[in-house]
């Protein structure tokens, strides 16, 4: 883990709870206490009803691939050894769309609407990344 050479998350007041949750292998999102909308990215007000009243919930970690792209070029040297790798937009059961990677599946087999489930990757002492693998 000491030689991890990819970009690390940048923690701020909005996303601190999210990344803290990831460290405990929990995918946490804000849920509006007023209208029930579950949102991502995290913010101080609900984008639907503008309420500031919120609670954090733990997502099931299940979803499906809304879309994806397969990188054959590394735009950062940390990803050179991963080529080709898959970036995907996951539509979670709870509603939010989240950007992540598809792991445990050849890029040739990745499809839109494929059901996926969380697969945690512990990258440093401080951070774990929520990645996704096919549900099978």
Partner 1 sequence: MVISYGHNAFSSDSMRRMLIERNGDDAVFGHFGAAAGYALAAQRAMCTFHTGPETWKHIAVGQRKWANMNPLATMYQRTMSFDDYYKANWVVEPFRLFDNCLMTDGGRAIIITSSERARDLRHPPVLIAGIGQHNPSYDVHQSTHLTGPTGAKKSGEMALKMAGVTINDIDACEIYDCFTYTVEISLQDYGFFGPGEGEDWFKDGTIEPGGRMPVNTSGGQLSEAYYMGLTPLSEATMQLMGRCCERQLGPTTNTKSPEIILCSDNGGILQTHNCTILRRP
Which stretch, 27-35, 52-60, 105-113, contacts partner 1 (CB under 8 A)?
Answer: 105-113
6 contributes a contact to partner 1 by CB under 8 A: yes
17 contributes a contact to partner 1 by CB under 8 A: no
The reply to whether omega before 41 is within 30° of 0 (cis) is yes
Dihedral over alpha carbons 116, 119, 123, 127 (to 10 degrees) = 90
As measured in angstroms, the least distance from the Cβ of 69 to partner 1 is: 4
Contact pick of 84, 109, 124, 135 for partner 1 (by CB under 8 A): 84
The residues with which 85 forms a beta bridge, in sequence order, are 71
Q: If binding means CB under 8 A, how many residues of this protein chain bind partner 1?
A: 38
82 contributes a contact to partner 1 by CB under 8 A: yes
When the beta carbons of 2 and 99 are compared against partner 1, the nearer one is 99
In this structure, the strands spanning 97-101 and 54-58 are: unpaired
List all residues 6 or more positions away from 116 whose beta carbon is below 8 Å from its beta carbon. 62, 63, 64, 65, 88, 90, 102, 132, 133, 134, 135
56 contributes a contact to partner 1 by CB under 8 A: no
29 contributes a contact to partner 1 by CB under 8 A: no
What is the Rg, in whole angstroms, of the alpha carbon atoms belonging to the chain? 16
As measured in angstroms, the least distance from the Cβ of 32 to partner 1 is: 16
As measured in angstroms, the least distance from the Cβ of 53 to partner 1 is: 22
């Amino acid at each position: 883990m000491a030689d991890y050479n990819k970009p690390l998350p940048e923690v701020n007041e909005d996303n601190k709870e999210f990344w803290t949750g990831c460290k405990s292998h929990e995918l946490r999102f804000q849920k509006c206490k007023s209208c029930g909308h579950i949102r991502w990215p995290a913010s101080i007000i609900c984008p639907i009803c503008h309420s500031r009243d919120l609670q954090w919930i733990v997502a099931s970690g299940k979803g499906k691939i809304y879309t994806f792209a397969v990188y054959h070029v590394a735009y950062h040297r940390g990803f050179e050894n991963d080529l080709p790798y898959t970036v995907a937009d996951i539509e979670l059961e709870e509603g939010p769309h989240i950007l992540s990677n598809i792991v445990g599946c050849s890029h040739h087999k990745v499809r839109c609407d494929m059901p996926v489930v969380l697969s945690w990757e512990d990258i440093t002492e401080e951070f774990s990344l929520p990645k996704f693998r096919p549900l099978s």
